């Protein structure tokens, strides 16, 4: 009887371990995906491309640190702010170069007209008027004939952005998944 009880106990422990492992696998896969994601670049309306500085931005004696370095030597300070399909950034002025204080800055607010996904897919703003919606999430960007981006952008720490990509068949939602963003901002020329 004791042998049967021990065997049954071992089987239950193995089964519960398999269940536990089965529930952990998606979590581990999500962590692996996030660890391979790279910070998104921001394209400003004047076509300056800004790249995330890193987890420890250059601190300044006065003012927020520079979190994005732009290709003209200037930068964006603090966090970018997103409201729906609009982005607001605080761009440092020319007077700030190589100084430890923010002397001049300006808020720039603009439409996020394009999003380039991590796989290279280009998605363009669908416009302000009526469009499709799925489960209460508006189709804000189109990515060709059979795909689009629905709902709001999700910002994570470290300059990471993601959004839900929908696969469409006409006006029907076929499937969706959360994908990483490589670049977002104004329309490229």
Domain limits, the chain: 41-111, 114-185
Q: For position 94, what pLDDT does the model report?
A: 59
Residue 27 has phi, psi (to 5 degrees) of: -65, -45
Q: For position 36, what pLDDT does the model report?
A: 62
Q: Which residues of the chain have pLDDT under 50?
A: 1-35, 97
Q: For position 112, what pLDDT does the model report?
A: 97
Q: For position 55, what pLDDT does the model report?
A: 65
Q: Token digits for 35? A: 């660890």
Strand intervals (E) in 49-134: 49-52, 66-70, 75-83, 86-92, 105-111, 114-117, 122-125, 133-134
Q: For position 9, what pLDDT does the model report?
A: 41
Alpha carbons 141 and 159: distance in angstroms, whole number = 21
Total-model pTM: 0.74
- Pairing between strand 172-185 and 41-43? parallel
Tens-place pLDDT, residues 68-90: 989 887 888 888 999 999 999 98
Nearest to 162 by CA among 144, 177, 175, 173: 177
Q: For position 90, what pLDDT does the model report?
A: 87
């Amino acid at each position: 009887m004791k042998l049967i009880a021990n065997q049954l106990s071992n089987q239950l422990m193995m089964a519960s371990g398999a269940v536990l492992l089965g529930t952990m696998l998606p979590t581990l896969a999500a962590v692996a995906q996030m660890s391979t994601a790279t910070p998104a670049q921001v394209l400003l309306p004047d076509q300056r491309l800004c790249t995330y500085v890193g987890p420890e931005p250059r601190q300044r004696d006065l003012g927020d640190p520079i979190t994005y370095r732009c290709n003209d030597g200037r930068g964006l300070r603090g966090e970018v702010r997103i409201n729906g399909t609009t982005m607001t950034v605080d761009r440092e002025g020319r007077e700030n170069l190589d100084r430890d204080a923010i002397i001049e800055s300006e808020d720039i607010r603009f439409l996020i007209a394009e999003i380039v996904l991590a796989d290279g897919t280009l998605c363009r703003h669908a416009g302000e008027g009526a469009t499709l919606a799925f489960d209460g999430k508006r189709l804000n960007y189109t990515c060709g004939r059979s795909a689009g981006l629905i709902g709001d952008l999700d910002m994570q720490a470290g300059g990471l952005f993601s959004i839900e990509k929908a696969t469409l068949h006409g006006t029907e939602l076929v499937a969706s998944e959360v994908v990483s963003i490589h670049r977002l901002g104004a329309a490229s020329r």
